[in-house]
Amino acid sequence: MKRTGFLAILLASTITMPSARAATEADYKAAYAAAEVASKEAAGMRNQWTVTVSALAAAKKAADGGDFDRATAAAKEAEALAKASIYQATSEKEAWKAMEIR
């Protein structure tokens, strides 16, 4: 339970951090590429969250509309979600053994 709370706080703080300047298309592309890599890694672990896919779609939609601030924020959110799902898959890979009845 403690890990879940920590992840929620980390995710919330990452998403809500304000940017000092307006995001550019290059910022969006870099953030989207990083999010896509993390998302593919999570999918490879068979633990890709649906909210990650939704955040990637929102990032693409915002970028297509020219709103690179929103697109970059959504891409960073998708990356954080993907990394959290990777963390979950990794930690639960061994954690279930502690719950096994002996």
| Full residue range of the structural domain in which residue 17 is found | 2-99
Interatomic CA distance for residues 71 and 28, integer angstroms:
6
Q: Please list, residue by residue across 23-48, b when 16 or more beta carbons sit within 10 angstroms of its beta carbon and e when fewer do.
A: beeebbeebbebbbebbebbeeeebb
Q: What is the dihedral of CA 86, 89, 95, 97, to 10 degrees?
A: -150
Render pLDDT for 16-73 as a digit per residue (tens, 0 to 9): 555 568 899 999 999 999 999 999 999 999 999 999 999 999 999 999 999 999 999 9
* Whether the predicted model's global pTM rises above the 0.85 cut: no
| Count of domains for the chain | 1
Least confident of 1-5, 83-87, 88-92: 1-5
Evaluate if residue 3 carries a pLDDT over 80: no
What is the H or E stretch that residue 10 is in? helix 2-16
CB 51 within 8 A of CB 29: no
